[in-house]
A and B are shown apart, each in its own frame.
Chain A
Amino acid sequence: MTQDPTQEPFDEAEYRRRQRSRANMMAWMLGGLAILFFLITIAKMQIFA
């Protein structure tokens, strides 16, 4: 059985690049959110103190 000629061959390098870039992005976002939530908590403590 032959492969469908319209399908592009699987590009593993591209797959890895996208996985890596998404993992990095997720790490930065989660880190940023952790800091933001910490700062919001501190700010609320200052306001309601």
Chain B
Amino acid sequence: MAQSLTHGETALPADWRDLFALTKPRVMSLVVFTALCGLLAAPGSVHPVLAFASILAIALGAGASGALNQWYEAGIDAKMKRTAGRPLPAGRLDRQTALQFGVGLAAFSLFLMLFASNWQATLLLAVSILFYVFVYTMWLKPRTPQNIVIGGAAGAFPPLIGWVAATGSIAPLPVLLFLLIFLWTPPHFWALALFVRSDYAAAGIPMMPVVAGEKSTRRQILFYAIIMAAGAIAPWPLGYTGALYGWTAVILSAIFVLLSIQVGTRTTGGGDTMQPEKRLFAFSIAYLFILFGAVVADHWWPL
């Protein structure tokens, strides 16, 4: 049985809540939603049971990635206020249990995907887990301020996997959705990094505001927001979506760019509460949810 903290001289079994927390449930919700949208926007119909099992496999794969990320970063998490309460740095779980849980969950998610769907989706799920753990967590994150830019690809896989699970092949629209999340990740995370900058600096993670400074980060947020807006609107003029998605993308992307201009052009002094950055971060989450909802709505109820 997996064991956690020692309580006296006897090891207590890990609490299931701590194992659940290892899967980063909040991140998983966005993964599940975008994967579901990819699956629902695909042409043709999928048996509901197979659709459910495929989404469950993607959710478990994302959970496994989160658990392996926390296993590897336990030492770093302990140095940051934002993450110090997680099960591993807080001492409620031991690293061996987290590793076994993560590897087991990853293996099971791939098995479930292969059983319920097809080998193409299974391969993509395996690539996304390996990319997140080895390329992003172990290689890029501790080494380069571009970690989020390249590592963003890991989070961009779910809609692509959802689509491939439904159809068995890749098409331009899910690739554009992949691109959308890929371009959305830098402004989203750099907005966060601006207001938790001291946390990252304390942990020695080379996030953009720590390495390149605040001014450069703000400029890059604006730069990526503009490219992202173009990428978000692109499926409409290219004919892969209709007006419902198109107008939603235009309006929301305009708001995103306006909030990014606010963040990108300002300078801060001591005691700044970073409200524009917090606003951009919060809006960026809603932006992705609404936009992916619009992709599905446009597919099922075109204007």
* Chain A residues within 8 Å of B, Cβ to Cβ: 7-11, 14-15, 18-19, 21-22, 25, 36-37, 39-40, 42-44, 46-47
Contact = CB atoms under 8 A, between A and B. Distances in A.
23 contacts: A8-B8, A10-B7, A10-B8, A10-B9, A10-B10, A11-B7, A14-B7, A14-B12, A15-B7, A18-B12, A18-B13, A18-B14, A18-B15, A22-B1, A22-B13, A22-B15, A36-B49, A37-B115, A40-B49, A40-B116, A42-B49, A43-B47, A47-B47
Nearest to B48: A43
Interface of B: 1, 6-10, 12-16, 47, 49-50, 52-53, 56, 115-116
A18 to B, nearest CB: 5
Contacts of B10: 10, 15
B8 A9 contact: yes
A25 B47 contact: no
Contacts of A14: 7, 12
A27 to B, nearest CB: 12
A10 B47 CA distance: 51
A25 B12 contact: no
B8 A7 contact: yes
Given A22-B16, A37-B115, A40-B53, A46 B47 contact: yes
B247 to A, nearest CB: 37
Give the one of B1, B6, B13 with max A CB within 10 A: B13
Nearest to B56: A36
A39 B49 contact: yes
Contacts of B13: 15, 18-19, 22
A37 B16 CA distance: 23
Contacts of B14: 18, 22
B12 A36 contact: no
A19 to B, nearest CB: 6
Contacts of A10: 7-10
B129 to A, nearest CB: 20
A36 B116 CA distance: 10
Contacts of A40: 49-50, 53, 115-116
B9 A7 contact: yes
What are the 3 tightest A-B residue pairs by CB atom distance, in nearest-first order?
A10-B8, A43-B49, A43-B47
Given A10-B10, A40-B116, 18 more contacts: A7-B6, A8-B8, A9-B8, A10-B9, A14-B12, A15-B7, A15-B12, A19-B13, A21-B15, A22-B13, A22-B14, A22-B15, A25-B16, A36-B53, A40-B49, A42-B49, A43-B47, A43-B50
